[in-house]
């Protein structure tokens, strides 16, 4: 009955399976699309024939299976087509001249302006590419040039280069992140190597809404809000989150309120409620209900376009539109079916949206609310209206957190413990902030009224920031360094489904699978802990400007670094945090210039040892070495400084079997060391090209 009443849920599962297969198995991309389409047509024909021929209820599932496989192949085909959009090979010549169109509003950074271009033409040859290609562009300038905005065209000269793969184990895969958005190349444009082109004829709806958003942001900025107030207000109201300081963003994350900083389904829902109330007078007229519904759809999608059509906003706008359409046509609807239908429609337009974090979190949160809100809310009877409202807000927050917990732990490795406390304030203040914000955006051109509304908005935002910072400062506000691979995420979701049927529907048959899932989760965790206690590793990370070396024995470890840990902690975290969480390591940083002697690590004057493996870090100031009859034997010589030390000199006192050229070395210094290594007939590894060096020392 559950599946029969929710056809879009079945369609979505098969379609998503096809997307996953196409995304993970890149070899499938070599199949001829025509052959897949022929197979698709054949399966549709078989499903139609079986539907007409099979009369027995016993075999009635067979046509459905064929239809499901057909939908899966359709998802696979569409995903392959989407992937192939970025498969055009671009000339990697710095003298090539390109013409491109801005697909997003440019973002000002410290010394560059970042934006995405759609390249369709080589201007130096006046030749059109077989397919348009998205390119991530960085323009060297400290101020945003006039005339550059979404939809504008520029001509530029620059070297196209493929986006680099991650260099360290567990590091965020930015290349895969961009490929899922159809971006394969990046280009750095010098400030003197480009010029804007005259606007071309044509109407771009997103560009119109982007210009309106910029005007509204300028109006908001002119109202005298503080930096943090303006940054948070711009993020909440218009989805512009580029100005939020990293420490403030971390406070929102630790307090469990980071979702308020991006326009999401909650924002769209509040806008819907506000305008639904304002347009309620239309219900008095004949056909007024239909007119109000049409106006609500228009308002919702206008707001979605104004905020940039993020996946969560698209989900909410699509869902609300489907609910409104069902109301217009007088059709009964199922919430789960509407949710699945909205996801299917969005994935039909862009299959790779399935891998967007916002898309996953948005649908997981709504699914959690649909599953758990009413059963938990109705489990407690409350007569007082105010307490009832507070209880409803708590249950909504708890239900949404049940849906997103595992996915959030996978991506962000932390869980806010006081999310219920924070979300109570967020739930109340968000209504006020969005109400006064919408009113300000509507009346920003009227003097005095705009100042009054901006004042009320600023006070609401200021109170929100104060509460968030207070909650984040409470001891143990969050659990950090959670390790949740996708296998564990799937087990948690499976356990939630069994628990839903067991506790909500009182289905005692679910006890066995629920207990089996718990045992499997405990087994996975126990197996991981055993492996962590047995691990022994030597890791030289690949960092552009600094050196970091991890010496690991079980859960004990020492991270040898230069000044990076103090000067650029965020850069260090970006490169190595995920791998250290996966290995169960806590922070234990030690300077390369200090000596160290523990029960598992020895390090002095550049010489180090863990287990039976020895290494020597080449210093920059020591140019001459004594010639020793019995040389100091090490396994690895690590070159991290472009000093004038010659490897022939080092070889007089130190015997090494392999050279590691640290990624912090400039190319000219690395090239010099390579020549010397070849003369010494010793293997070398250049970490800037190959990535981090990981040596597993555990004896089998």
Q: What is the mean pLDDT of residues 469-485?
A: 86
- Compute the 3-state secondary structure of the chain and give helix, strand, coil in percent, each to the nearest 5: 55, 15, 30
pLDDT, tens digit, for every residue of 562-614? 876 667 777 788 888 899 999 998 778 888 888 999 889 999 989 999 988 99
Range name among 27-36, 286-295, 296-305 with the lowest pLDDT average: 27-36
> Is the pLDDT at 276 greater than 50, yes or no?
yes
Q: What are the C-alpha distances in Å from 295 to residues 138, 280, 494?
A: 40, 11, 40
pLDDT, tens digit, for every residue of 414-451? 888 888 877 777 777 877 888 888 888 778 778 888 88
pLDDT of amino acid 27: 46
pLDDT of amino acid 609: 94
Q: What is the mean pLDDT of residues 139-166?
A: 86
- How far is the C-alpha of 649 from the C-alpha of 189, rounded, in Å? 43
> Is the pLDDT at 1 greater than 60, yes or no?
no
pLDDT of amino acid 529: 92
pLDDT of amino acid 42: 63
Q: What are phi and psi of 58, to 5 degrees?
A: -60, -35
pLDDT, tens digit, for every residue of 4-25? 678 888 899 999 988 988 887 7
Average pLDDT for the chain: 84
Pair of tokens at residue 276: 């639904």
Banded pLDDT at 700 (limits 50, 70, 90) = very low
Strand partners, 561: 548, 591
Element (H, E) at 607: strand 607-610
> Is the pLDDT at 149 greater than 70, yes or no?
yes
pLDDT, tens digit, for every residue of 41-61? 666 666 666 566 555 555 566
> Is the pLDDT at 487 greater than 50, yes or no?
yes
Q: What are phi and psi of 368, to 5 degrees?
A: -60, -40
pLDDT, tens digit, for every residue of 172-226? 999 988 888 889 899 999 988 898 888 765 556 777 777 788 888 888 888 888 8
Domain extents in the chain: 7-84, 97-202, 223-256+418-483, 486-532, 536-696
pLDDT of amino acid 2: 55
pLDDT, tens digit, for every residue of 543-554? 988 899 999 999
Q: So what's the architecture of 97-202 in CATH?
A: Beta Barrel (2.40)
- How far is the C-alpha of 293 from the C-alpha of 303, rounded, in Å? 15
Residue 589, classed as helix, strand or coil, is strand
User: Which residues have C-beta within 8 Å of that of residue 436, sequence separation ≥ 6?
Assistant: 453, 456, 457, 460
């Amino acid at each position: 009955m559950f599946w029969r009443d929710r056809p879009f849920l079945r369609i979505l599962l098969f379609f998503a399976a096809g997307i996953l297969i196409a995304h993970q198995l890149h070899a499938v991309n070599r199949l001829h699309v025509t052959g897949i389409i022929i197979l698709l047509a054949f399966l549709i024909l078989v499903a139609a024939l079986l539907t007409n021929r099979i009369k027995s209820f016993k075999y009635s599932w067979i046509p459905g299976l064929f239809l499901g496989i057909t939908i899966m192949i359709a998802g696979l085909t569409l995903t392959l087509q989407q992937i192939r959009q970025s498969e055009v090979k671009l000339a990697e010549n710095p003298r090539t001249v390109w013409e491109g169109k801005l697909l997003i509003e440019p973002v000002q950074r410290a010394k560059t302006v970042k934006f995405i271009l759609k390249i369709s033409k080589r201007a130096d040859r006046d030749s059109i590419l077989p397919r348009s290609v998205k390119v991530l562009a960085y323009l060297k300038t400290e101020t945003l040039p006039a005339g550059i905005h979404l939809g504008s065209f520029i001509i530029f000269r620059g070297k196209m280069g493929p986006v680099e793969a991650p260099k360290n184990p567990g590091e965020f895969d930015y290349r895969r992140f961009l490929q899922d958005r159809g971006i394969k190349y990046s280009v750095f444009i010098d400030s003197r190597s480009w010029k804007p082109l005259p606007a071309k004829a044509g109407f771009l709806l997103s560009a119109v809404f982007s210009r309106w958003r910029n005007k509204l942001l300028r109006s908001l900025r002119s109202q005298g809000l503080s930096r943090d107030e303006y940054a948070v207000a711009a993020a909440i109201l218009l989805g512009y989150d580029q100005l939020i300081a990293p420490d403030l963003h971390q406070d929102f994350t630790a307090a469990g309120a980071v979702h308020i900083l991006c326009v999401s389904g909650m924002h769209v829902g509040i806008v819907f409620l506000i305008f639904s109330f304002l347009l309620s007078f239309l219900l008095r007229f004949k056909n007024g209900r239909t007119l109000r519904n049409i106006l609500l759809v228009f308002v919702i999608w206008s707001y979605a376009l104004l905020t940039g059509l993020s996946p969560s906003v698209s989900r909410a706008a699509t869902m609300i539109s489907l609910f409104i359409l069902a109301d217009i046509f007088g059709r009964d609807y199922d919430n789960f079916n509407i949710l699945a239908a909205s996801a299917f429609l969005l994935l039909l337009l862009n299959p790779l949206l399935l891998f967007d974090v916002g898309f996953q979190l948005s649908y997981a949160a709504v699914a959690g609310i649909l599953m758990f809100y009413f059963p938990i809310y109705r489990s407690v009877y409350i007569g007082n209206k105010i307490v009832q409202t507070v209880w409803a807000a708590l249950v909504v927050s708890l239900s949404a957190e049940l849906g997103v917990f595992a996915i959030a732990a996978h991506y962000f490795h932390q869980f806010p413990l006081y999310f219920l406390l924070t979300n109570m304030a967020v739930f109340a203040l968000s209504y006020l902030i969005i109400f006064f914000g919408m009113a300000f955006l509507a009346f920003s051109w009227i003097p005095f009224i705009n100042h009054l509304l901006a004042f009320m908005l600023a006070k609401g935002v200021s109170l929100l920031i104060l509460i968030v910072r207070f909650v984040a400062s409470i001891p143990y506000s969050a659990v950090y360094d959670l390790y949740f691979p996708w296998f564990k995420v799937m087990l948690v979701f499976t356990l939630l489904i069994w628990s839903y049927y067991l506790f909500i529907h009182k289905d005692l048959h679910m006890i066995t699978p629920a207990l089996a899932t718990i045992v499997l989760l405990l087994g996975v965790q126990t197996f991981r802990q055993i492996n962590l206690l047995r691990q022994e590793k030597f890791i030289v990370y690949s960092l552009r400007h600094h050196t970091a070396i991890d010496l690991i024995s079980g859960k004990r470890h020492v991270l040898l670094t230069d000044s990076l840990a103090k000067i650029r902690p965020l850069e260090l975290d970006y490169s190595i945090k995920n791998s250290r969480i996966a290995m169960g390591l806590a922070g234990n940083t030690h300077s390369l210039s200090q000596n160290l002697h523990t029960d598992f690590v020895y390090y002095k004057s550049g010489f180090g040892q863990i287990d039976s493996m020895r290494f020597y870090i080449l210093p920059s100031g020591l140019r001459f070495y004594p010639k020793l009859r019995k040389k100091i034997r090490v396994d690895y010589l690590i070159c991290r400084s472009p000093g004038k030390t010659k490897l022939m000199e080092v070889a007089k006192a130190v015997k090494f079997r392999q050279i590691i050229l640290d990624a912090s070395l400039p190319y000219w210094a690395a090239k010099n060391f390579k020549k010397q290594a070849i003369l010494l007939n010793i293997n070398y590894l250049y970490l800037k090209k190959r990535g981090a060096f990981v040596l597993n020392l555990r004896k089998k």
